[in-house]
A and B are shown apart, each in its own frame.
Chain A
Amino acid sequence: MDKEKVYKLNSDKGNELSVPLKNAPMKEHGVIDFLVIAAGFLLITPILSAHRVTDFMIFCIFVMSFDLMYGYMGRLSFGHMLFLGTGAYCSGLFIRYISGNPLLAILVGIFMAGLLAMLIGLVIVRTTGACFSLINLAFNQIGFFLVLSPLRGITRGEDGFGVRVSSFGFFNFANTTFKFWFVLLCLLLVFYLLKRVTTSPYGILIRSIKEDETRVKFLGYNTFFYKWLTFVLAGGVGGLAGTLSALNYNFVNPNMMDVHSNVGVVFASLIGGAGNLYGALVGGVVYMVISNFLPIYIHRWEMFLGFSLLIIVFKFRKGVWGNIQDIWEYIQKRKGAPRLAA
């Protein structure tokens, strides 16, 4: 197709614009990213055990999905656990009542979380600021209540239920090593997908929406559509994290949709540095290390998290990765070398 034509607006209805993602110029995506990420998780596996690192990676997937909405689009959600819970419950219930096929269960979990995001996104993305955060929280609370009480007949309320997956050819989720590699593959795929998305014109657009939505409208964009799309994408990826959690623990309970757990993903995003996928990974790992190991040494470890947040907010707004980037750029500037890839 002629390169000039692909930039034409796909608009028959006037104001419903869409930027053609697949035809947009992409920045180079080095294999080195994947090697570094994979190596990082492999290196910590002997220290922390494969099961725990699998848990870390699932959380990192969840943080990346949250970061797409918060770090890139500037919409802070206090209800992102809804999608993790939806993914976990839908895949778990699918396995429990319909089929033990884990791959189908994963697809069901992603689809249902995405579908939920599609529906509630129609309302939520019309709002901004505190309203956006609180409406998300409200929907999360509704979801939590539903699985806890009205749907108790199938979800078994606060007791939760076990998830027993059949071995499906090569896919054996009873095997910890297999789960580790499968989740690592999912993490790399999600990273690749979100990297492509965030460096595409769509990525530029959602970052522009974060800065000033009104001015984006003046450039002819239907911002509602792009916000909704981002919400759905974040919801779907959050759903994937939920299905992987269900498969990793072989268990689903309301904690997977608990509104209080939203604190974790917000913290992780801020610790790592919002608006950067590497930051999401770093933040996810750092948060998991803190929340897994600090309670052993400090009884009220949550207080430590509170102090950490204060320090981040007042002194290190860019988080761990953002500050590493700044230091790197400073060094490169002094050397006159190219910038560190964002």
Chain B
Amino acid sequence: MLEIKNLDVAYGHAKALHDISLNIETGQMAFLIGRNGAGKTTLLKTIIGLLKPLKGSITYQGNEISSLSPEEHYLKGLRYVAQEKKVFGNLTVRENIEIAAYASGEPVDIALDKITSIYPKLKDFLKTKAGQLSGGQRQILLVGRALVGEPKLLLIDEPTQGLAAIVIEEIVSILSGLRDKVSAVIVEQNLAMVNRLADRVHILKEGKVAREIIDKSEISDTRGLEEYL
């Protein structure tokens, strides 16, 4: 579904990714782990079209997408949830969902049902300004909003960062409910989450793929993964 080959990305003269290659199959949940500065977020931003690669290719469903704009990525079914948990704070929760529904062509009612079914508490906040939600609620709204329309590939950057354990559990539950329905590339440091959800893990180190793990027993070995964090 998503194939990255020999990808180099730089910020000005500083190279951030070196010769990255990876392959994600339909329905798989791939996790990118690694220390700060390893290039995980840079890789997601490059896939979604926010950064242009120096060389290499990003092929999605057989088509090269590295030169496409962010809105063209959306039309192809790619959804990006950024790290900062930035909702449209001055819009209500409902409006945050509406704006995604209009773009995707999905009726607003269906979009609302979809999101409130995965997180029913959000029903109580539909008229609340999204900026007033807690960090966890904002993250769930963002993940929910990414599911509006017919997403095919989710790109989620650190969905559990800074969140309480109970909220992390809710996010894990939402993501596990998506298994086999959509593919996902998730940047995550929470190894317990990786352990429960990952079909494959790509360990990034200093802008390179240091290791690729597809064996479930190896993924479950959180101690083995810890050394890369």
Contacts and interface: CB of A to CB of B under 8 A. Distances in A.
A215 B75 CA distance: 14
Given A7-B108, A211-B90, A212-B86, A14 B75 contact: yes
Contact of A208 (B70, B75, B82, B91): B91
Contacts of A221: 71, 103
B37 interface: no
B91 A9 contact: no
A219 B73 CA distance: 9
Contacts of A4: 107
A17 interface: yes
Interface stretch (B15-23, B55-63, B93-101, B219-227): B93-101
A25 B99 CA distance: 12
Contacts of B108: 7, 25
Sorting the interface of chain A by its residue count into under 10, 10 to 19, 20 to 34 or 35 or more gives: 20 to 34
A218 B74 contact: yes
A215 B79 CA distance: 11
A276 to B, nearest CB: 12
Interface string B86-125: 1011110001001111111111100000000000000000
Interface stretch (A199-207, A251-259, A296-304): A199-207
Contacts of A216: 99
A222 interface: yes
B157 to A, nearest CB: 12
Interface in A7-51: 7-9, 11, 14-15, 17, 19, 24-25
B91 A15 contact: no
Given A4-B107, A7-B107, A14-B75, A217 B86 contact: no
Contacts of B104: 220
Contacts of A9: 103, 105
Contacts of A212: 86, 88
B90 A218 contact: no
B105 A201 contact: no
Interface string B50-85: 100000000000000000011111110001101000
A151 to B, nearest CB: 41
Nearest to A8: B105
A8 B104 CA distance: 7
Contacts of B79: 218
A222 B71 contact: yes
A315 interface: no
Contacts of A11: 75
Given A7-B102, A204-B91, A204-B98, A220 B74 contact: yes
Interface residues of B, number: 30
A203 B98 CA distance: 12
Contact of A17 (B71, B73, B101): B71
A214 interface: yes
A329 to B, nearest CB: 11
A342 to B, nearest CB: 10
Contact of B107 (A3, A205, A217, A219): A3
A202 to B, nearest CB: 9
Contacts of B82: 215, 218
Nearest to A11: B75
B48 interface: yes
A218 B98 contact: no
Nearest to B131: A211
A219 B91 contact: no
A17 B89 CA distance: 24
Contacts of B80: 218
A15 B75 contact: yes
A286 B70 CA distance: 43
A4 B110 CA distance: 10
Interface string A313-328: 0000000000000000
Contacts of B89: 211
A210 B89 CA distance: 11
Contacts of B48: 218
Contact of B88 (A7, A19, A208): A208
B95 A219 contact: no
Contacts of B100: 219
Q: Which of A11, A19, A217, A220 has the most CB of B within 10 A?
A: A220
Contacts of B75: 11, 14-15, 220
A220 B107 contact: no
Contacts of A201: 98-99, 102
A205 B70 contact: no
B102 A19 contact: yes
Contact of B71 (A8, A25, A217): A217
Interface string A187-199: 0000000000000
Contact of A24 (B70, B102, B105, B127): B102
B131 to A, nearest CB: 9
Contact of B69 (A210, A211, A217): A217
Given A17-B71, A201-B102, A210-B90, 6 more contacts: A7-B106, A9-B103, A25-B108, A205-B102, A218-B79, A219-B71
15 contacts: A7-B106, A25-B108, A204-B91, A204-B98, A205-B99, A208-B91, A208-B99, A212-B86, A214-B70, A216-B99, A217-B69, A217-B70, A218-B80, A219-B103, A220-B74
